[in-house]
């Protein structure tokens, strides 16, 4: 019975993508079960012995193909496997394991498989090469495609004739040059679609408390957050994770003390630890900051409308909060010590700030607060803020209902006993230095998320790093988190999406002469009819000329930045180049298509304004 089952499995996998047979016991002992994993384009078979304590053979091969994942497992009982090696020899001419097939090609054992991976053979067998298409450019028709084609051909020195004729409809309607899209297709459709979306949004807005009721909005938001909190607890329970609501503190390298809200202490040990304590908002250290000011930890559950608000800081939290408060119709001022969005591309940051300023947000630049006083208690009350110039001895005063501090965040590492475990931290900010596998200087202690030194402080990054770390630790995986090609969006009123390097960082790493920056202004179609923000949206890509014009920085300022940036982030993971962007057909009319038609470089000094679609 065993031979029949094994033979069927081998034949099945030989006709598929990958067969992987793993032995976990050096002795010829009976096999009592097997596991079959399905995960296109990889399929693997592993045999397991319950008495395995000697060694584990595993093949870890990293591919860029994200579809190479394990999807399901099937457990079955086998009758007898004492002579399975003879069957393997008969079918594969190899009786040792692991025994690997890729796309019907027998690779061999572990050494041969790893060598094939090193030589690039596995990658070629699994992925293959993308098919390249070339298009014949014959211009018949004066629609969007024909016009673009003819203009490009003319630029290349070709003699071009454009033929276009519109047969009238039965009602006698016809139109001019430009084709269906401009006249009776994409453009009018999108504008009417936007009208419908606005109508829907006005109906949905009542659920968020518009016109505007802060208390209703706050209650709705917090009710939803509460449902998420409960869902996380249920998920832990379903995964058999023991959740304990207590504060943890190392007392030994492998031992922690857990203290609950009643002061009850329990002690726990572990072989490995992962630090994922996150960060909290930083206060100013000035008179009145903790007594009278709030942070983002307080804002979203504030029981009353904040009224006239001073936002202190230039972080993404400061600009996002200031932006949406202004969007709710509140009087908002942002006090900035130096630059906006430190660490982000400064060209983009300044453009986002300028847009906020044009839409009513006031900026106090080159000032820092020195004192906050309460003038009148209330909901909201009245506060007086005294600030000092960073460039002179000038001081100013202002009155506000709410002062929101958003000057940065501090890692929550100072009171968890890391010194008892021997873990090193940056004394200036409490951040934890790690290697490329999120391992601290203590081998059995790891760290992920916002507390990492020099890494992105983003929830999806932490989630990805955590998953990959667990797989490396306990599943024999090798894939590490990519901290460079991380797509992110700052949700300012005009959203800013980015992936890869800022222009400043790219110059630092590669040198200005080795870079080409393509950029363009654009006017979203949905902004045209209300006639707002003409040529305020902006996009640019930073290309490495020494690496086939590979895109190493992607930046977008416009509506739906997160939706736009997400897809390009995936493309950058695959080594996106300028030529590939140029050869990509854009979806029209969209904002994202601007990246498929960018021609003007910063170095040329050419005009980047857009006259139309």
CATH value at residue 557: 3.30.390.30
Q: What is the pLDDT of residues 147-156, one digit of tens each?
A: 443 454 556 5
Q: Taking 90 as the threshold, does the pLDDT of residue 183 lie above it?
A: no
Q: What is the pLDDT of residues 56-101, one digit of tens each?
A: 333 333 333 333 332 223 233 344 444 556 666 665 556 676 677 6
Q: What is the pLDDT of residues 538-555, one digit of tens each?
A: 999 999 999 999 999 999
3-state SS class at 372 = strand
Is residue 274, in this structure, part of any structural domain at all? no
Q: Taking 70 as the threshold, does the pLDDT of residue 536 lie above it?
A: yes
Q: Taking 60 as the threshold, does the pLDDT of residue 582 lie above it?
A: yes
Average pLDDT over residues 114-125: 60
Q: Which of 155, 190, 206 is the last residue of a domain?
A: 206
Residue 28's CB is within 10 A of a number of other CB atoms, namely: 11
Is residue 295, in this structure, part of any structural domain at all? yes
What burial class does residue 368 get, using C-beta atoms within 10 Å of its C-beta: 0-12 exposed, 13-18 middle, 19+ buried? middle
Contact (Cβ atoms closer than 8 angstroms) between residue 476 and residue 506 = no
Q: Are 115 and 159 in a shared domain?
A: no
Determine if the pTM surpasses 0.75: no
The tokens 């023991």 sit on which residue?
242
Contact (Cβ atoms closer than 8 angstroms) between residue 117 and residue 125 = no
Q: Are 66 and 154 in a shared domain?
A: no
Average pLDDT over residues 1-18: 44
| Domain interval for residue 557 | 488-596
Q: Are 191 and 121 in a shared domain?
A: no
DSSP 271: S
Q: Are 495 and 571 in a shared domain?
A: yes
* Alpha-carbon span 526 to 192, nearest angstrom: 10
Give percent of the chain above pLDDT 90: 40
Q: How confident is the prediction for the chain on average, in pLDDT?
A: 75
Is residue 261, in this structure, part of any structural domain at all? no
In CATH, what number is assigned to the domain containing residue 107? 3.40.30.10
The tokens 């024909």 sit on which residue?
146
Q: How many residues does the chain have?
A: 613
Q: What is the pLDDT of residues 278-314, one digit of tens each?
A: 888 899 999 999 999 998 888 888 889 999 999 999 9
Average pLDDT over residues 511-536: 91
In which band, very low, low, confident or very high, does the pLDDT at 190 lie, cut at 50, 70 and 90?
Answer: very low
Q: Taking 70 as the threshold, does the pLDDT of residue 405 lie above it?
A: yes
Of residues 598, 523, 608, 593, the one with CA closest to residue 558: 523
Q: Are 58 and 151 in a shared domain?
A: no
Q: Are 90 and 187 in a shared domain?
A: no
Question: Looking at 25-39, 204-218, 503-517, which range is the least confident one?
Answer: 25-39
Q: Taking 70 as the threshold, does the pLDDT of residue 187 lie above it?
A: no
Is residue 297, in this structure, part of any structural domain at all? yes
Is residue 585, in this structure, part of any structural domain at all? yes
pLDDT of residue 103: 57
Average pLDDT over residues 156-168: 50
Helix (H) or strand (E) holding 540: strand 537-544
Q: Are 122 and 149 in a shared domain?
A: no
Q: Taking 50 as the threshold, does the pLDDT of residue 28 lie above it?
A: no
Average pLDDT over residues 155-174: 49
Indicate which residue of 17, 519, 555, 588 is catalytic.
Answer: 588
Question: Looking at 160-169, 298-307, 408-417, 420-429, which range is the least confident one?
Answer: 160-169
Q: Are 503 and 558 in a shared domain?
A: yes
pLDDT of residue 156: 53
**Does 311 or 178 have the greater pLDDT score?**
311
Is residue 72, in this structure, part of any structural domain at all? yes
What is the torsional sign of CA 423, 428, 431, 434?
negative
Q: Taking 70 as the threshold, does the pLDDT of residue 612 lie above it?
A: no
Q: Is 588 a catalytic residue?
A: yes
pLDDT of residue 486: 94
In CATH, what number is assigned to the domain containing residue 386? 3.50.50.60
Helix (H) or strand (E) holding 140: none
pLDDT of residue 26: 39
pLDDT of residue 333: 98
Contact (Cβ atoms closer than 8 angstroms) between residue 67 and residue 41 = yes
As given in the structure block, the two tokens for residue 408 are 């940065």
Question: Looking at 292-301, 349-358, 491-500, 592-601, which range is the least confident one?
Answer: 292-301
* Alpha-carbon span 533 to 537, nearest angstrom: 7
Is residue 576, in this structure, part of any structural domain at all? yes
Q: Which of 152, 187, 206 is the last residue of a domain?
A: 206
Q: Are 149 and 95 in a shared domain?
A: no
Give percent of the chain above pLDDT 70: 65
Average pLDDT over residues 564-569: 96
pLDDT of residue 197: 38
Of residues 90, 92, 100, the one with CA closest to residue 23: 100
C-alpha to C-alpha distances, 425 to 154, 335, 396, 450, nearest whole angstrom: 61, 31, 38, 13
Q: Taking 80 as the threshold, does the pLDDT of residue 317 lie above it?
A: yes
Most confident of the following: 39-48, 152-161, 185-194, 415-424: 415-424
What burial class does residue 337 get, using C-beta atoms within 10 Å of its C-beta: 0-12 exposed, 13-18 middle, 19+ buried? middle
pLDDT of residue 381: 95
- List strands edge to edge, sheet with 367-376: 367-376, 382-389, 395-400
Contact (Cβ atoms closer than 8 angstroms) between residue 19 and residue 43 = yes
Burial track 171-210 (b if 16+ CB lie within 10 A, e otherwise): eeeeeeebbebbbebbbeebeeebeeeeeeeeeeeeeebe
Q: Taking 60 as the threshold, does the pLDDT of residue 454 lie above it?
A: yes
Is residue 432, in this structure, part of any structural domain at all? no
pLDDT of residue 300: 82
Q: What's the CA angle centered on 541, arms 535 and 544, to 5 degrees?
A: 155
Average pLDDT over residues 596-612: 91
Q: What is the pLDDT of residues 227-278, one digit of tens each?
A: 877 776 677 667 656 677 888 888 988 888 888 889 989 887 788 888 888 8
Q: Are 494 and 553 in a shared domain?
A: yes
pLDDT of residue 348: 98
Q: Are 405 and 380 in a shared domain?
A: yes
Beta carbons within 8 Å of 530's beta carbon, 6+ residues apart: none
Contact (Cβ atoms closer than 8 angstroms) between residue 332 and residue 309 = yes
Q: Which of 349, 384, 409 is the last residue of a domain?
A: 409
As given in the structure block, the two tokens for residue 233 are 């607890």
As given in the structure block, the two tokens for residue 396 are 């100013």
As given in the structure block, the two tokens for residue 58 are 């595993």
pLDDT of residue 498: 98
Q: How many domains does one find in the chain?
A: 4
Q: Are 312 and 397 in a shared domain?
A: yes
């Amino acid at each position: 019975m065993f031979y029949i089952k094994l033979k069927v499995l081998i034949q099945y996998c030989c006709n598929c993508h990958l067969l992987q047979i793993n032995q976990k016991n050096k002795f010829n002992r009976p096999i009592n079960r097997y596991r079959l994993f399905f995960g296109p384009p990889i399929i693997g078979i592993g045999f397991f012995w319950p008495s395995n304590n000697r060694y584990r053979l595993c093949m870890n091969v990293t591919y860029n193909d994200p579809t190479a994942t394990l999807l399901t497992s099937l457990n079955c009982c086998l009758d007898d496997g004492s002579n399975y090696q003879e069957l393997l020899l008969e079918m594969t001419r190899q009786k040792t394991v692991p025994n690997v097939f890729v796309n019907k090609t027998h690779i061999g054992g572990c050494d041969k498989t790893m060598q094939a991976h090193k030589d690039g053979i596995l990658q070629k067998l699994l992925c293959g090469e993308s098919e390249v298409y070339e298009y014949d450019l014959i211009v018949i028709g004066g629609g969007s495609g024909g016009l673009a084609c003819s203009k490009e051909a003319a630029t290349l020195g070709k003699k071009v004739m454009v033929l276009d004729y519109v047969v009238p409809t039965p009602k006698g309607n016809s139109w001019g040059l430009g084709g269906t899209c401009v006249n009776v297709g994409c453009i009018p459709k999108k504008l009417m679609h936007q009208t419908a979306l606005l109508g829907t949004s006005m109906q949905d807005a009542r659920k968020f408390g518009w016109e505007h009721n802060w208390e209703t909005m706050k209650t709705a938001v917090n009710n939803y957050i509460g449902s998420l909190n409960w869902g996380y607890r249920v998920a832990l329970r379903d995964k058999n994770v023991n959740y304990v609501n207590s504060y943890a503190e190392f007392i030994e390298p492998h031992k922690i003390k857990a203290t609950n809200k009643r002061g009850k202490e329990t002690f726990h040990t572990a072989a490995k630890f992962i630090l994922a304590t996150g960060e909290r908002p930083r206060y100013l250290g000035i008179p009145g900051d903790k007594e009278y000011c709030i942070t983002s930890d307080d804002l979203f559950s504030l029981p009353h409308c904040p009224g006239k608000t001073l936002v202190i800081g230039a972080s993404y939290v400061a600009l996002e909060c200031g932006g949406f408060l202004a969007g709710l119709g509140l009087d908002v001022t942002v006090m900035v010590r130096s630059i906006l969005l430190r660490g982000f591309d400064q060209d983009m940051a300044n453009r986002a700030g300028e847009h906020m300023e044009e839409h009513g947000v006031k900026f106090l630049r080159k000032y820092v607060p020195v004192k906050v006083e309460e003038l009148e208690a209330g909901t909201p009350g009245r506060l007086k803020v005294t600030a000092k110039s960073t460039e002179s001895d000038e001081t100013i005063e202002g009155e506000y209902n709410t002062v929101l501090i958003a000057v940065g965040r501090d890692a929550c590492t100072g009171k968890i006993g890391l010194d008892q475990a021997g873990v090193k931290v940056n004394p200036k900010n409490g951040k934890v230095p790690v290697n490329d596998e999120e391992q601290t200087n203590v081998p059995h202690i790891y760290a992920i998320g916002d507390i990492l030194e020099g890494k992105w402080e983003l929830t999806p990054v932490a989630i990805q790093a955590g998953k990959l770390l667990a797989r490396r630790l306990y599943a024999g995986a090798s894939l590490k988190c990519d901290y460079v090609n991380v797509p992110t969006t700052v949700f300012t009123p005009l959203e800013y999406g980015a992936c890869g390097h800022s222009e400043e960082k790219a110059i630092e790493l590669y040198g200005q002469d080795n870079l080409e920056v393509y950029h363009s202004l654009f006017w979203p179609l949905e902004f045209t009819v209300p006639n707002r923000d003409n040529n305020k949206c902006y996009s640019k890509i930073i290309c490495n000329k020494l690496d086939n014009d590979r895109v190493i920085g992607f930046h977008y300022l416009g509506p739906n930045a997160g939706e736009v940036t997400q897809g390009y982030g995936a493309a950058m993971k695959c080594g996106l180049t300028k030529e590939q962007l140029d050869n990509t057909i854009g979806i029209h009319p969209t904002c994202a298509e601007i990246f498929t038609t960018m021609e003007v470089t910063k170095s040329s000094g050419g005009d980047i304004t857009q006259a139309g679609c």
